[in-house]
């Protein structure tokens, strides 16, 4: 868990917003697109709090 949080921080992403978004989206995401959820590829969705986009 620590490595996930640090990786998000190193990519200038709010770890809490990133993890909440990933946990929401991962169940419906096809396996070949899971790489989009990695911190260095992640883009907030419209439903992601504005705080995550500002981070």
Is 39 within 8 Å of 17 (Cβ atoms)? no
pTM of structure: 0.76
Tell me: the pLDDT tens digits for 2-54? 999 999 999 999 999 999 999 999 999 999 999 999 999 999 887 776 555 54
> Which two tokens mark 19?
């993890």
């Amino acid at each position: 868990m620590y490595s996930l949080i640090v990786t998000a921080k190193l990519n200038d992403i709010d770890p809490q917003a990133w993890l909440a978004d990933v946990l929401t989206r991962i169940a419906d995401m096809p396996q070949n697109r899971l790489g989009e959820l990695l911190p260095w590829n992640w883009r907030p969705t419209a439903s992601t709090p504005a705080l995550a986009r500002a981070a």
